[in-house]
Amino acid sequence: MYWATVPGLPPAEAHPRSAMNYFEGGSACGHRIASIIGAPAFRSRKTRLLEFASGYGRVSRHLNKYPHIELVCSDVHENATDFLNKSLGLKAFTSATHPDDFSHAEKYDVTFVLSLFTHLPKHTFGLWLARLYETVTPGGRLIFTTHGQPHLPPGMEWPSDGFMFTEVSEQKDLDTGEYGSAITNPDYVFSEIRTSTGSNQISFEQTGYATQDLWIVHRT
C-alpha cells in the first residue's frame, strides 16, 4: 500500500494505525495552515509558501492539494528532499544544520515551520528566527510552533528564563546538542522574536496547533 513506502514508517501490515495517523494528522495540519493563510481573494497570483523542516512530506503532500498555494519545501535531510522531489513531485531543496550555513535568495508570502523550534537549543533559537524571517516578503508571515505549558513535566516550574532544553531526540543522525527537545514559555518566545526579527506584529495562540503553541510573525 502507498503509505508503506513512506520513509520512517513501520510496515502498514504490522502497524496500520500508525500509517493512518501519519496521513490523517498531516491532512489536518495542512488544512489548518491553508485556513490560516486564506485564499488570495484580491490577488492575481497564488500564495507562495515555504514549508521549512518539512521532513518526508507528512504535511507537504496535503498542502500541495490547495489551488491557492504555490508550495516549496525544505529539509536538512537530503534523502527527504530527494523523496519530495522524485516521489511526490514537489519543489524541494536541502537546507543546513546551522543557521549560519543557511542561505536562500527566494522570498515567500508565508514561511511555515512546524516542530523545528520544539527542538532547538538556546544558542540557535533566535538565529533561526532571524534567518527564516528573512525568507518572508514584506507584508508576509512567518508561522511556527513551539512546545509550551502542556509539555512542561508534571510538578516542574519554569526556569527563570522560560527555556528548557534536553539533549534527547528521535533524529539519531543529528547532534542532540543542536537538535534535542525544547520547551519555551510565551515570554521567552516573544522576546526572541522581537530581538531577532525586530517585528512587533506578533500573534500567539496557546495550543493553537494541536498541543503546540502557534506563532504568527508579520513582516513589515
Q: What is the pLDDT of residues 161-199, one digit of tens each?
A: 999 999 999 888 999 999 999 999 999 999 999 999 999
**13 vs 151, more confident:** 151
Inside any domain, residue 161: yes
Task: Check residue 189 and give its pLDDT.
Answer: 98
Q: How far is CA 129 from CA 73, 79, 199, in A?
A: 17, 25, 11
Q: What is the average per-residue pLDDT within 95-111?
A: 96
* Mean predicted confidence (pLDDT) in 108-117: 97
Would you say residue 112 lies in a domain? yes
* Residues in a beta bridge with 72: 50, 91
The band of 44, judged by pLDDT with boundaries at 50, 70 and 90, is low
pLDDT (mean) for 198-218: 95
Q: Does the residue 116 lie in any domain?
A: yes
pLDDT at 75: 98
Q: How far apart are CA 55 and CA 191, in angstroms?
A: 28
Query: Could you tell me the three cell numbers for 71?
Result: 508550495
Q: Tell me the C-alpha distance between 17 and 15, whole Å.
A: 6
Question: Could you tell me if residue 186 is inside a domain?
Answer: yes
Confidence category of residue 12, pLDDT binned at 50, 70, 90: very low
Strand 69-75 relative to strand 163-166, pairing: unpaired
pLDDT band at 15 (very low <50, low <70, confident <90, very high): low
- Measured CA to CA, the distance from residue 30 to residue 213 in angstroms comes to 16
Domain count, the chain: 1
Q: In angstroms, rounded to a whole number, what is the distance separating the alpha carbons of residues 173 and 177?
A: 12
Residue 108 lies in a domain: yes
pLDDT computed for residue 126 by the predictor = 98
Among 34-48, 152-166, 176-190, the range scoring the smallest mean pLDDT is 34-48
Residue 129 lies in a domain: yes
Short-list 160, 159, 218, 165, CA closest to 194: 218
Q: Where is pLDDT greater, at 50 or 210? A: 50
User: What is the pLDDT confidence band of residue 10, given thresholds at 50, 70 and 90?
Assistant: very low
Mean pLDDT for 114-129 is 98
Strand partners, 190: none
**Structure-block grid coordinates of residue 115:** 516542530
Question: For residue 200, what is the DSSP state?
Answer: -
Q: Read off the CATH number of the domain in which 201 is found.
A: 3.40.50.150
Q: Provide the residue range defining the domain that includes 205.
A: 96-218
Q: What proportion of the chain, given as a percentage, has pLDDT over 90?
A: 82
Strands, sheet with 47-52, edge to edge from the N-terminal-most edge strand: 91-94, 69-75, 47-52, 108-113, 136-146, 212-218, 202-209
In a domain, 58, yes or no: no
Q: Establish if 122 belongs to a structural domain.
A: yes
Alpha carbon distances (Å) from 196 to 80, 121, 132, 133, 148: 29, 15, 10, 9, 20
Q: What are phi and psi of 12, to 5 degrees?
A: -60, -30
Q: Among candidates 93, 97, 100, which has minimal Cα distance to 116?
A: 97
Q: Model's pTM, two decimal places?
A: 0.91
